Structure 1
């Protein structure tokens, strides 16, 4: 018996076809319609429904490029099941290069939303209704905040559902256990019975090729794990992810000029000096000392800091040096992967 068409927002997508569906969100103040664009790939054969979303924070554009490469590549041909690709969730923030919506709310603290709520709440409700509740699994693509960069990493509640297996299938250098937050997409999705992984990599308003390639390869890895595509799309990843159950930020004890001697992906040992803060005249130098053994998964890119500013995000791991070596190995694997020889993916 032929597979039924996929129905979304009054549109019908027959099996074996692709279609962009624009879900209406309303009209902006200048009378311009705003939509939530969804690229639907509905396979001929049965399988799970996976959503991949980006730009919930409008200035986090790296996921947009990851989704673009997935759409333009060859790996999603012959998909089993259905893929919902949403490159720009927060179109309002994307247009204005900002994290937030015009009402200054954070969309990722507004789920599950309400049809008669704030602008953020209405968008969250639409996303939950049209995307999340139609899906079995979700991947939400993020970057660091403005002037902060993140090592490619998966954040998930590792105590829930199938998240750990999915996280290993994604294959980012680090898997970080992250409790669910009120108002987050992950939290609302889990209440709806949908496991969601959050991918963090790179910096807002910037592209990073390693982070993009790791994201593309990670999405395909999850799809292989779910049985949606075969493993012939690129090489099988040899480098395994490292699990961290906790992390912390090192903050500036004094204001001044920040100089880092370590960066993302580097291992650190407890008690190691990993940077310094000096006053503008060079008369005072405050050392930044790691208070735990681990790997740097995030850092500020701003050399001018005030007291209390976040400097390094460190994930605690047992064998930090070995973990740091894995980051370089993964970067080399992605450089050598024939998947990225395709001009449409580069």
Structure 2
């Protein structure tokens, strides 16, 4: 028999599709706040997967990815899919990364039923949704004024997690350590394997990141045997990075860049000039190792010590990674806005 699934007191039967509003703490205006989710169940038993977005409230690319997944009207052959477009509903409302209590929700897991506002929301999400799941895909972007190249971060030492990360079909996989208090850490502690998708910038829609995310989630569901949707063949073999570092500004000033996301850099390459307001040259940012830029600051103003370029280091050729990034970009057809 198929396992019973009850979320927030609502039972979802095999073959059903339901929208559920999970109550969370009210605003001080006495307005009710809820966590909106959509649950899709196949008639046949199988894996239970959550896809979540906006754990940081200003990371809105993931909201659009889940919206498009819902519009796809996916027909599950087996298992259950739980779609959560906004985990930090408070942050989305305020266009803020953080919760109203100024905490980072992704540092508050597993949370507490009687703790801070962020802790209570973390507890609700973990116990109402993640506790049911075998797998999860958590959608993120870079912070404000920072962009990330589409990438998957996960525990690639686990064979099953690596298999699903490769199925997502992005050029770069980062073997990332689990951070204390993170959703991924709490989920893994619960026995749930999680992929963290990073792409784009906070408070911005990026079509490449969105389309790559939608197709990546669908490919993972196919790899789990949950859907049979046909997908275009992808000839991208992802490259695994076991290390990445941020290169920081060694002076304050105005930035003139020589590289972009996805650029291959060699040790000793000049990444940017830092100039004064009168055009006088102050300093240069030099790459200390060879690799590829997977994240960068976008604003052309910098303070000394500020993180500017996130560089991943590979055992193989970074040029090969760059070629795969170009293939990914060519495979994405921009969706024209409706008139």
TM-score of Structure 1 vs Structure 2, range by shorter chain: over 0.9
Superposition misfits of 4+ residues, deviation over 6 angstroms = none
Pair 1:121-2:119 in alignment: yes
2:137, 2:77 → 1: CA distance? Answer: 17
TM, length-normalised to structure 1: 0.94
Question: 1:4·1:14 contact (CA, 8 Å) conserved in 2?
Answer: no
Q: Which moved more, 1:7-16 or 1:180-189?
A: 7-16
Correspondence 1:295 to 2:320: no
List per-residue Cα deviations over 1:272-316 (Å, max 9, x = no partner).
112111111122242221111111000001101110111110000
Return closer, same or farther for 1:196/1:4 CA change in 2, 3 Å cut-off: closer
Shift of 1:236: 2.3
Residue number among 77, 98, 101 corresponding to 2:99 in the alignment: 101
SS of residue paired to 1:313: strand
2:273–2:281: 8 Å Cα contact kept in structure 1? Answer: no
2:82 corresponding residue in structure 1 = 84
**Whole-angstrom distance in 2 between the partners of 1:243 and 1:4:** 36
Asked whether the 8 Å contact 2:262–2:292 carries over to 1, the reply is yes
Secondary structure at the residue paired with 1:218? helix
Q: Is the 8 A contact 1:268 1:321 kept in 2?
A: no
Q: Tell me, yes or no, if the aligned pair for 1:80 and 1:227 is still in contact at 8 Å.
A: yes
Q: Which runs of 5+ in 1 are unaligned?
A: none
Is 1:112 equivalent to 2:107 in the alignment?
no
Distance 1:123 1:274 in 2: 41
Counterpart position of 2:323? 325
Q: Is the 8 A contact 1:111 1:125 kept in 2?
A: yes
Choose which of 152, 172, 175 in structure 2 pairs with 1:174.
Answer: 172
Alignment partner of 1:243 is 2:244:
no
- Checking the alignment, whether the CA contact within 8 Å between 1:55 and 1:64 is kept in structure 2 is yes
Say if 2:310 is the partner of 1:334: no
1:218-251, CA deviations, whole angstroms, 9 ceiling, x for partnerless residues?
Answer: 101111111111151x212211211100001111
The Cα shift of 1:27 comes to 1.5
Contact 1:103 1:120 in 2 (8 A): yes
Counterpart residue number, 2:266: 269
Whether the 8 Å CA contact 1:57–1:106 is kept in 2: the answer is yes
**Structure 2 length normalisation: TM-score?**
0.96
Unaligned stretches of 5+ in structure 2? Answer: none
Supply the distance in 1 between the matched residues of 2:185 and 2:121 (Cα, whole angstroms): 16
Task: Report if aligned partners of 1:137, 1:194 keep a CA contact under 8 Å in 2.
Answer: yes
Shift of 1:5: 5.3
Which deviates more from structure 2 when the two are superposed, residues 59-68 or residues 21-30?
21-30
5 Å-filtered alignment, 1:81-230, equals 81-160=79-158, 162-230=160-228
- CA separation in 2, counterparts of 1:57 and 1:15? 32
Shift of 1:4: 5.7
CA deviations 1:5-42 (Å, max 9, x no partner) are 53211112222221111111121100101111110001
Aligned residues: 337
